[in-house]
Structure 1
Amino acid sequence: MGAIARPTHQLVRMRGRSYVAFVFCPVVPIAGWLEEIDASIGHSPGFFIGKPVVLDLSAVDLSQTAILHLVTSLEQRNIRVLGIEGVDAARLSSDMPPLLTGGRHCVLTQNEPKKPEVKPKPISLLLESSVRSGQSVFTEGDVTILGSVGSGAEIVAGGSIHIYGTLRGRAMAGANGNPAARIYCQKIEAELVAIDGHYQTAEEIDATMCDRPAQVCLEGDIIKITPLN
């Protein structure tokens, strides 16, 4: 009697992949917080479209109905919530974004003496050409761009951003929680600049800073743009 052929099963291949997500931390009154979101969208229409957003509800105490209304309000503004954190799972229904845990925090809490942990320094990125419109660059460390950053382009860095040409797109430094990060450019015509989550849009940038070298830094919670001597 011949051997019975057994069906073969193909293994499912799974890969890990990480993305930079914006974290929204609403505060009460929610209506006032949504007005601030509307003002931000008004300054930079379409900025959050297609961007992964996490909703951190740890600072508010919302019912299940209120959470659903908040998620719906953001979706009406073309802000798609990828997941929710900082809330009890019982308050989330099946038609809401999933509960997320394990996100990386910016501040490390040390309860007992430990040996200093030596972490590898993030690798700096060097781009020898310009970043064209529609392109996005993400790096954990500093980034140096020998060319310009075109309108509609986006630079996100955990460290500082150095641009030897003109900054016309969006530049976000200190994205991993580094308020000491800075942005340097030879000419600033930016759509948006941000450090550690604090930002200014094109309408808020002093017109006298255009057509000259500039640096962007964070003082407290305020973005400062000053001439680069």
Structure 2
Amino acid sequence: MTLKSLNFSLLVVAVETEDLSQLADELNKRRIMAPDFFQYAPVVVHVENDTANLDFLRIREIVTENGFILAGVSGELSDSQKEALHADKIAILRRSKRQASKEVVVEDKPAEVVPEEVAETATFIANEVKTKIVTGRVRSGQQIYAKECDLVINGDVSAGAEIIADGNIHIYGTLRGRAIAGAMGDQTASVFCRVLAPELVSIAGVFKLSEGLPHEHLGKSCIVSLRNGQPVIETLN
């Protein structure tokens, strides 16, 4: 047997207070967006408050009730929180040394690491239809959500990034991450992409993973839409 250190993409949900209703709402929202994709998906709960008296068993129940699997808990945990997690047999996840080394320390306080490319966002209203426009690459680990409007990405979407819109999604670059259009159930929504190479593309909760995409469309300019409840991929002229 050989032990290896591997990287995986996990959904991370922050818990800031002892009120766990926000956790339940966030997981429920994700489940509605792409029910098949998120079914039994691993979730990491990140604790933002080391003084909170959290019911970790209840947290695990909420994660399970929404169709996810609790992979573990992360954060700057207090000794009492660690003891509670050990008692409840819930894993404590720690950042890798590589990730920790990316932090810059000034006066003994960790400074925020600013990505080399920062996506700028703006929302425009034209003919009473709102559109959220993002300029720049959407980097791995980032999530952008266009609530009740279309989303335009003027750049690439990296692997490990996630873009979500209640309306259509337009990507003037390469899609390597996840694109979820019609997030609240709009089956008329579409994903327009200059270069299609996604981890996942979803319309109104109906999705295709990278391995399920027709090879003739990979790397091409495409539109993904629904037809008779099934995702259809067509080449853009």
**TM norm structure 2:** 0.51
Looking at structure 2, the residues matched to 73 and 138 of structure 1 have their Cα atoms a distance apart, in angstroms, of 21
Looking at structure 1, the residues matched to 71 and 184 of structure 2 have their Cα atoms a distance apart, in angstroms, of 21
- Of Structure 1 and Structure 2, which has the larger fraction of its residues in strand? 2
Count of residues in Structure 1 that have an aligned counterpart in Structure 2? 142
* Other-structure match for 1:49: 43
- Which portions of structure 1, spanning 4 or more consecutive aligned residues, are displaced by more than 2 angstroms? 17-20, 46-51, 71-75, 77-80, 120-123
Tell me if 1:179 matches 2:173.
no
Looking at structure 2, the residues matched to 197 and 134 of structure 1 have their Cα atoms a distance apart, in angstroms, of 21
Structure 2: tracts of 5 or more residues without a match: 1-18, 46-60, 73-126
Tell me if 1:132 matches 2:139.
yes
Shift of 1:193: 0.4
Equivalence map 1:43-122=2 (5 Å):
49-50=43-44, 71=64, 74=67, 77-78=69-70, 121=128
Looking at structure 2, the residues matched to 161 and 74 of structure 1 have their Cα atoms a distance apart, in angstroms, of 27
2:38–2:67 Cα contact (<8 Å) kept: no
2:30–2:38 Cα contact (<8 Å) kept: no
RMSD of Structure 2 on Structure 1 (CA): 3.7
Structure 1: tracts of 5 or more residues without a match: 1-13, 25-35, 52-67, 81-119
Identity %, equivalent residues = 31
Q: Give the greater-gyration-radius structure (CA).
A: 1
Counterparts in 2 of 1:223 and 1:150: CA distance versus 1, 3 Å? same
Q: Which amino acid letter does the alignment assign opposite residue 133 of structure 1?
A: S
Shift of 1:121: 4.9
**TM norm structure 1:** 0.53
Tell me if 1:203 matches 2:214.
no
2:142–2:161 Cα contact (<8 Å) kept: yes
Tell me if 1:228 matches 2:216.
no
Looking at structure 2, the residues matched to 183 and 128 of structure 1 have their Cα atoms a distance apart, in angstroms, of 17
2:31–2:67 Cα contact (<8 Å) kept: no
Bigger relative contact order (CA 8 A; separation at least 6): 2
